[in-house]
Structure 1
Amino acid sequence: MKSEPAYGRLPTMLEDHFLVPEAQLVSTEALLTTKDNVEMVLKAKAMMCAYGPSGYGKTTAVNSTLRELAPKITYRLELRSGPTPRDIRHGLFKALRLPGEPPRRPIEFDTLLKDVLAEQFRVLVCDEAQWMSRTGFEYWRHLWDDRHTDIAIIFAGGDNCYKVLRREPMLASRIYIWQEFKRIPKTEIQPVIAAFHPIWATCDPELIDAIDDEASHGSFRNWATITALLTEGLAKTGSAQVTEELVGWAYSKIHGM
C-alpha cells in the first residue's frame, strides 16, 4: 500500500491560506486560546474537541499551533462521509507510513496500530470530525484508552462533532478540553482584517465593517474569498485601494453568500 507523500503531514501556512497570496496568520483571541488549550492537551496526553460552524478558523488554528508545538510528531487524518473503524485504521496506516500491506483482520490491525502508537508520543488530529459517527469516535477512544498507547487526540469539526460526543457520556467524559469557535467579534473585525492582508491596511474602516455586515459575517473563510476576489480585481483595474465600486464587483461574484 503506497502512501501519498503529503498525506498525514501538517500543511504549511501558505497551504492554510491557499486562496490568498500574502495572507498573514493573525493572532486572534481564538488562536491564542487554541495555543493554550493544545499545550495543555499535549502535556496531559489527552483528547480535545475544537468545534463550530464551517469557516470559523478551527483547522487553521489547530494546524498553526501544532506547527509550532509538535511539527514532527503530528499526524492528520481527513475522513469524510461517515468513516467506519475500518476507514480510521487504514487512514492511520497511511498517515503513519507503515510498511507493507495493511492486515486484513481487525484484531491484527488493531494490535499493529497499538504497538506503533506505543513506540513514542504522537499527536493524532482528526479533521472534518463532523462526519464521524458514534462508532468512529468509539474507535478513537479504544485507541486512546489502551494503557500502552502514547497519544493525544484532537478532533476538529462542525457542530455535529460536539453533538455526537456530548450525547455519549463515555465519550464526552474523556474529552479534556472543549473549544467552541465562533465568528470574529465585531470589536476585532477592523484590526484583524487590516492585519490579515495588505489590501485591507489602507481600506476605510467603515467599509471593512460594511463588508462584514453584508457578506463576511465574521467568517474567516468568507473574508478569504472576498480578499482573493478583490486582489484579482485590483490587479485587473490597476487600482491601488479597495473601493465601494470594487466591493460591489466582488459581491456580484458571490451572490447568495
Structure 2
Amino acid sequence: MTEDAYQYVDLPEAAVVTTRALLTARENITDTVAARAMMCIHGGAGHGKTLAVNTCLSELEPAEDVRRVTFRARPTARAVRYELFTALDLPGEPPRHPSEFDRLLKNALAEHPRTFLVDEAQWLNGEAFEYFRYLWDEPSTQLAIIFVGGEGCHTVLRREPMLSSRIFIWQHFTRLTPDEVQQVIPLFHPVWADADPDDIAFADSHAAHGNFRAWAQLTAHTRTGLARTGRPRADRELLRWAFSRLA
C-alpha cells in the first residue's frame, strides 16, 4: 500500500473527514487515555473504525506513547505475550517461561504511561482478552487499552464479565446515514466535490450503502472512469460502469 492508501485502496487526494463518529471517538479516546482505562470501539467492516482511531491517536502523539498491535488469527495468551514484546521494542530474546515473560512485560509497562491500540480485536478469544485484563489490573502498569474490532469483538467481550465490567466506554460505529453521506462525501474526495447530490444519493443507494470502504472503492473506480473518458464529472452512465466493478 502507498502513502495514499485509504480503506485498503490507493486513493490519492482522499481526505479524512470529520464525521460525527470521529468526533465522538476523539472525545472518548481522550477521556479513556486520561483515565488510563479501557474502551471498545466496534462495528461492521468498512465503517471507518480503525481510520478514526488512528487519526485520533496520532493527535495525541508524541506526548502519548502509543503502541499498536493487530491480530489476524485467534491468538493464545502466549501469542499475545510475543506481540506485546515486539510492540514494546524490548531487547533480547523473549523469555521461555510464562511467569518470567509476565514479569518482564509488567516491568516494562510500569516504566511510563502507554496506550495500546488492539486492532482486529474480533479475533481475540476469552483467553486473550483475559490476558490484557491481567496486565491492565496490575497496579504498577500505567495502561490505556483501546480495543477496535468487528461485532464479534463486542460479543466476546460481553461474555467476559471480569473484563466487560472494566470497559470504560463502548462506542458502536454504524453506516453513514443518507444525510451524512450528502455532508461527508463531497469533502471526502474531489471526484464528488461538485457532483450532483442526486448522483451521490444514487451511488450510495446502489453501491456504497453508507460504508466508507465501499465509498473508497467506488471513488477509485469513478476516478479511473473520469480519467479514461475525459468527462468533467461523474454521471449516471459512468457510475453504472463503476458499479459493475463492485461486488
TM-score w.r.t. the length of structure 1 is 0.92
Report the Cα offset of residue 96 of structure 1. Answer: 1.3
Residue type matched to 1:48 in 2? Answer: M
Residue type matched to 1:208 in 2? Answer: I
The answer to whether 1:221 aligns with 2:209 is no
| SS of equivalent to 1:253 | coil
CA contact (8 A) 1:19 1:225 kept: no
Residue type matched to 2:22 in 1? Answer: L
CA contact (8 A) 2:6 2:14 kept: no
Aligned to 1:92: 84
Residue type matched to 1:243 in 2? Answer: D
Residue type matched to 2:177 in 1? Answer: P
In structure 1, stretches of 5+ residues that fail to align are 1-10
Report the Cα offset of residue 19 of structure 1. Answer: 2.4
CA contact (8 A) 1:50 1:181 kept: yes
Residue type matched to 2:188 in 1? Answer: F
Q: State the identity %.
A: 51
Match of 1:235 among 222, 227, 238: 227
- Matches of 2:134 and 2:6 in 1, distance apart? 31
Deviations 1:70-125 (A, max 9, x none): 34511111112111111111111111111111111111111111101100100001
TM-score w.r.t. the length of structure 2 is 0.95
The answer to whether 1:23 aligns with 2:14 is yes
In structure 2, stretches of 5+ residues that fail to align are none
CA RMSD of aligned residues (A): 1.5
CA contact (8 A) 1:52 1:181 kept: yes
| SS of equivalent to 1:55 | coil
CA contact (8 A) 1:13 1:64 kept: no
- Matches of 2:205 and 2:227 in 1, distance apart? 25
Judged with a 3 Å threshold, the aligned counterparts in structure 2 of structure 1 residues 14 and 111 are, in CA distance, closer, same or farther, namely farther
Residue type matched to 1:56 in 2? Answer: H
Runs of 4 or more above 6 Å deviation: none
Match of 1:118 among 88, 110, 114: 110
